[in-house]
Structure 1
Amino acid sequence: MAKTTKLTPFQPGEGYTKEDWDAVDFPEMTDEELASLRPAKEVLPPEFFKAMEEHRKSRGRPSLAHPKKQVTLRLDEDVIARFRASGKGWQGRMNEALRKAAGL
């Protein structure tokens, strides 16, 4: 198939010519074919949906036993400046300093 770099409105993919697009033989579905379609849950095995649900649940960061809580706290500017000046990870170091001061 010949490729171009110019996209036109009839091209959903990148770089196909009008001739390439028109050469695809996929006729529109008839009313009977459309009426015979069924939801995926009726035709696919339940294991498929269970695997999809497990995949969805496993994305992202793992849960922590004791997750951090977001709070609003007013601190003196110089305290914040001192911790920020220590570089990346300053919030974690501030948390450790607070834990130490609280005797934890």
Structure 2
Amino acid sequence: MTASKRVSHPSLGSDLPKVAAHVIQPAEYDELPELTDEMLAQGKVNRGGRPRAMNPKRLISIRLTEDVIQRWRATGPGWQTRMAEKLTRAAPK
């Protein structure tokens, strides 16, 4: 006999409503440092994301027999990368 058990998700304990309701007072500006040209010159723009690959992969379409695909898939996760490495080694130079 299996009984369904209600799962309660943990609360984040967020204070977002309190933060959103806060009104900044003039005295709070005293805590902030004055921005100088030197500070701004040290700033960097971070575009984020992955760096560009030296040898990026390209999407192509290739037809393979089902047995070939199943044998590669049976080798486990990363089978496509292993297949690409094998093809790279076998390619004429």
- Change in Cα spacing, 1:90 to 1:25, as seen in structure 2 (3 Å) is closer
2:83 to 75, 94, 98: 94
Unaligned runs of 5+ in 1: 6-11, 28-43
Where does residue 16 of structure 2 map in the other structure?
A: 13
Where does residue 62 of structure 1 map in the other structure?
A: 51
Identity in percent? 38
2:74 to 71, 77, 85: 85
- Indicate the RMSD between aligned Cα atoms, in angstroms: 3.0
Q: Deviations over 1:24-83 (max 9, x none)?
A: 5569xxxxxxxxxxxxxxxx96647x62x3x12xx2222121111111112111111111
How far did residue 90 of structure 1 move? 0.2
Higher normalized helix content (fraction of residues): 1
Measure, in 1, the Cα distance between the counterparts of 2:71 and 2:23. Answer: 68
- Deviation beyond 6 Å, 4+ runs, structure 1: none
Within-5 A mapping of 1:31-42: none
Secondary structure in 2 matching 1:103:
coil
Aligned residues: 66
Highest RCO, 1 vs 2 (Cα 8 Å, sep ≥ 6): 1
Measure, in 2, the Cα distance between the counterparts of 1:91 and 1:70. Answer: 12
How far did residue 103 of structure 1 move? 3.3
Where does residue 61 of structure 2 map in the other structure?
A: 72
TM-score scaled by structure 2? 0.52
